[in-house]
Structure 1
Amino acid sequence: METQAASDRVVSATEFSLDTIDIISPDHYQKNGYPHAEWTYLRKTRPVFYVDRPRVDPFWAITKAADIKEISVQPRLWLNGPRLAAFPLDEGADGPPPELPLKHLLNMDPPQHGEYRTILSRYFTPRSVRALEPEVANITAKILDDVMDREQCDFVTEISSKVPVAVIAEMLGVPRPDWPTLFRWTNEIIGGGDPEFQRGKDANETFAQARLEMFTYFTNLVEERRKHPTGDVTSIIANAKIDGAPLPALELLSYLLVLVVAGNETTRNATSGGLLALIENPEQFRRLKSDPTLIKSAVEEIVRWTSPVIQFTRTATSDTVVRGQKIRAGESVCLFYPSANRDEDVFDQPFKFDIGRNPNPHLAFGIGEHFCLGSNLARLELEVIFRELAKRLERAESAGPLERLRSSFVGGIKHMPIRYKLKPAAAA
């Protein structure tokens, strides 16, 4: 997550040793936030950089927006399937261990990816998602009302985490009493390497337990929806068919798992990082409060600024060249989206937080075949949340140090204490 301190560090950074530069250690992300200084150096000196470190499966780091675009629009040359992301080996090198597979949109390749994406694509169009706006607004208002009479709270656990998990749970048809459990599972699946969320001896054990519990839960819910179909997303997936046959159990349950995790983690962290950016740039918050028409461009800038998904990998199917560098078949590239979203060749003053930025061709939702299926839903949620905050939040300031997630995959803020004053909804 970007902070003013990180921005200052970028300005002052001049040189790193390519032998020791760190862009993948979860401890580095937890302690320092995003390594923007390091990415800036790599964009200038080694935009296609081979990372070969102890206990890291080697990969080529891609830090320029143009190269990430070029790779992302060639899904047959660059596969998702073999390797989802670049993880240190002691974090469970490639995510889940071999005996705990997942098969979902994020690690599917053509033509299977298109077949599975089509199942829900019409439910995530701008028009379909916009119909959810009244419900998202009601959820947001209720959450703000619950903390209105206080002067201090943890913005993450009491506000930003509650809106997206409520929305995705409603869409899936998960009963309200089960929402906290759903939230816990997402923390353990994404943040299993973080001591706060770890169950068992390591990230893999944490992931395995959360996956097993979530799969068991949704197996029961799917059986119910097959007997008694409804209009919720679980029912749609449970009764979907590809080539005339129901979805296999692994693909079906993996589909639901990734919807829960992606539908919660990214919007939550964009919301937390977005408010942090507004606190650290109060002139931009005043600007948003005085001009509500800026809400859409503000959301795009918040998404660019926070870039919640740090990286995905692609694996070459044949020898190829990226920016003059030969990459052999079977080698992996790691696409660093936050770096692309600070690319000096794309953005004017990339380290300035500007809610009126236009154009804003960020890559926070990806590009090409794997462009985020839920991007319209995420935008809607962020529009509603920040529209309500702009109306009702009279003032806000940090009330203590924030705590970041120990992860080099998703840029998360776990805790962000704030002091604030909220207006009642009627007064706003």
Structure 2
Amino acid sequence: MTAKDVRIPDDIAAVLVDPKAYADNRIEDAYRWLRANNPLGVAEPIGFDPFWVVTRHADILEVSRQNAIFHNGDRATTLVDKIGDANVRAITGGSPHLVRSLVQMDEPDHRKYRALTTTWFSPRNVRALEDATRDMARAAIDRMAATGGACDFVGAVALGYPLRVIMRILGVPEEDEARMLSLTQDIFGTHDPEKRAEIAALPPAIQGQLIAAVIADFTAYFGTISADRRANPRDDVASIIAHATIDAKPISEKEATGYYLIIATAGHDTTSSSLAGGIAALASDRNLFERMKTSLDLIPGFVEEAIRWTTPVKTFMRTATEDTELSGRKIARGDWLMLCYASGNRDEAVFDRPFEFRPDRPATRNVAFGYGAHLCLGQHLARLELRIFLEELLPRLSSISLDGPIDMIASCFVNGPRHLPIRFELN
């Protein structure tokens, strides 16, 4: 696995595992070099197990469609160093996963658990949420207007609007949303880099206690919601999870927690980042803004481009279950692979002028939602939220511009604007 022809230079490998590189755009330079010179190579950064780096669009699709060969559950599904992996295994009694959700499942469990909510998240059912979502979008824009023409769009709108949508689906009352946001960020990495550094500096045993306490709190909260839905079913996802059975047996508390958690996090963080990324593009380019104002029919294309442009989930990890070959390179059983979705969505072989934001871009399969069996369950809901928000915002928006530098989240996993200062006029 460390042959010279596949090994990635140390400086490039270091960028791949540096959270700050995803905030200051150095990762784009690294991806560009890899696509041109070593699109499927092995990184051996200090402190990490070696892993293959998959940067081309075609190779990402190929790995994603072969779920029997490239597993999610055998090792960590997100990039973690050796110490972090050991800490998680110590907390869980040997598992590389703090929680067990759809993301950490392989067949046959993945298919069975995904089927529980597939119909609920289908395009037809999601369309039934349009009126309620539009009301929430209008309320978010009213809050934006109340800031007086200048705000941090992330804090004022992008965090709260998708959170309200997904918490309504889960049956969480509005007064508990801030608590849920805090819990999910504490489990998967806070947006506050200083706090994240403070936690990382603690002894592993203390880190373990903190994480275990957060998961216990999350489990208890949704355990109460599940108990209520078993007694008083509603038309929401919480009721489905509360009554879920697999092979004629109720799902365990651990699996129920994992289901709630993946919906709460994946349904919020990715949509929030894509929304902020799209607004950042509007605020940065007056020509783009004026074009969107006069061509509202471009909104669906703008939504797709905002998702591609931002690609909130930057990477996911897979593990080879057998010796295999990919693009002429031999991958051994047990090898770890990093799927670089953000690189795939800038692949020059697939996207014309990939570094330009183009709402009229011809339809091309971007990989922001993944591909294959693990294609994002909530993709239709995310598109609905973004489309409705833009349909409500653009007719009211007279002007928009940046009001300072965009501060990006420093993370190798989920990344997008952390602060987006804008000035605007609404009518």
Q: What TM-score does the superposition give when structure 1 sets the normalisation length?
A: 0.90
1:49 aligns with 2:41: yes
- What is the aligned partner in structure 1 of residue 170 from structure 2? 172
- What is the aligned partner in structure 2 of residue 163 from structure 1? 161
- What is the aligned partner in structure 1 of residue 250 from structure 2? 246
Q: Structure 1 stretches of 5 or more lacking a match?
A: 1-16, 424-428
1:33 aligns with 2:31: no
Q: Structure 2 stretches of 5 or more lacking a match?
A: 1-7, 93-97, 202-206
Quick one: which amino acid aligns to residue 165 of structure 1? L
CA contact (8 A) 2:282 2:400 kept: no
1:86 aligns with 2:83: no
Q: Could you tell me how far apart the structure 2 residues matched to 1:212 and 1:379 are? A: 32
Superposition pairs of residues 54-65 of structure 1, within 5 angstroms: 54-65=46-57
Q: What TM-score does the superposition give when structure 2 sets the normalisation length?
A: 0.90
Q: Could you tell me how far apart the structure 2 residues matched to 1:413 and 1:88 are? A: 25
Superposition pairs of residues 10-409 of structure 1, within 5 angstroms: 18-21=9-12, 22-30=15-23, 32-33=24-25, 35-82=27-74, 83-89=76-82, 92-93=84-85, 96-100=88-92, 101-149=98-146, 150-192=148-190, 194-198=192-196, 201-202=199-200, 204-205=207-208, 207-409=211-413
Q: Could you tell me how far apart the structure 1 residues matched to 2:318 and 2:86 are? A: 12
C-alpha displacement at 1:78, in angstroms? 0.6
C-alpha displacement at 1:97, in angstroms? 4.4
Over residues 362-396 of structure 1, what are the superposed CA-to-partner deviations in whole Å (9 max), with x where a residue is unaligned? 11111101000000000000101122222122111
Q: How many residues of Structure 1 are paired with residues of Structure 2 in the alignment?
A: 405
Provide the secondary structure at the position in 2 that maps to 1:342: coil
CA contact (8 A) 1:96 1:208 kept: no
Quick one: which amino acid aligns to residue 181 of structure 2? F
Provide the secondary structure at the position in 2 that maps to 1:321: strand
Q: Could you tell me how far apart the structure 1 residues matched to 2:197 and 2:352 are? A: 44
C-alpha displacement at 1:412, in angstroms? 2.6
- What is the aligned partner in structure 2 of residue 12 from structure 1? none
1:411 aligns with 2:408: no
Q: Could you tell me how far apart the structure 2 residues matched to 1:84 and 1:95 are? A: 15
CA contact (8 A) 2:191 2:418 kept: no
Q: Give the CA RMSD over aligned residues.
A: 1.9
Which is further off, 224-233 or 323-332? 224-233
C-alpha displacement at 1:53, in angstroms? 1.1
C-alpha displacement at 1:226, in angstroms? 1.7
C-alpha displacement at 1:112, in angstroms? 0.7
Call closer, same or farther: CA 1:193–1:147 in 2, change over 3 Å. closer
Identical aligned residues as a percent = 37
Provide the secondary structure at the position in 2 that maps to 1:123: coil
C-alpha displacement at 1:95, in angstroms? 8.8
